């Protein structure tokens, strides 16, 4: 649709005097900016899905892993810590 409008505008602009060509170009630019603005508003109005429980759990586990990696000393092995985190989430 936009491409058709642009083609028609440029086709008609060729037969116009220079001042009218400039007016037409300004008008087409205005229409395109409105089209882009409305398209962006439409895109932003689409609701974003909430993260699933699995994604939330994965994020939580990633945070816990990061905390463990940052800890100066670890008294548990990775498998022990993983088991502790998973069992804590199941409660």
* pLDDT tens per residue, range 43-83: 888 887 677 877 888 888 888 888 777 765 556 666 776 77
C-beta of residue 89 within 8 angstroms of C-beta of residue 57: yes
Question: Alpha-carbon dihedral of residues 41, 46, 50, 51, nearest 10 degrees?
Answer: -80
User: How do the domains of the chain map onto residue ranges?
Assistant: 2-44, 53-90
* pLDDT tens per residue, range 1-38: 677 877 887 777 788 888 888 888 888 888 888 888 99
| C-alpha to C-alpha distance for 39 and 31, rounded to whole angstroms | 12
């Amino acid at each position: 649709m936009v491409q058709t409008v642009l083609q028609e505008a440029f086709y008609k602009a060729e037969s116009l005097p220079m001042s009218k060509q400039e007016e037409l170009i300004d008008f087409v630019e205005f229409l395109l900016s409105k089209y882009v603005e409305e398209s962006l508003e439409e895109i932003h109005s689409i609701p974003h899905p909430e993260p699933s429980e699995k994604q939330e759990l994965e994020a939580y586990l990633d945070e816990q892993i990061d905390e463990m990696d940052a800890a100066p000393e670890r008294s548990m092995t990775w498998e022990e810590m993983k088991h502790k985190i998973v069992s804590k989430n199941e409660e």
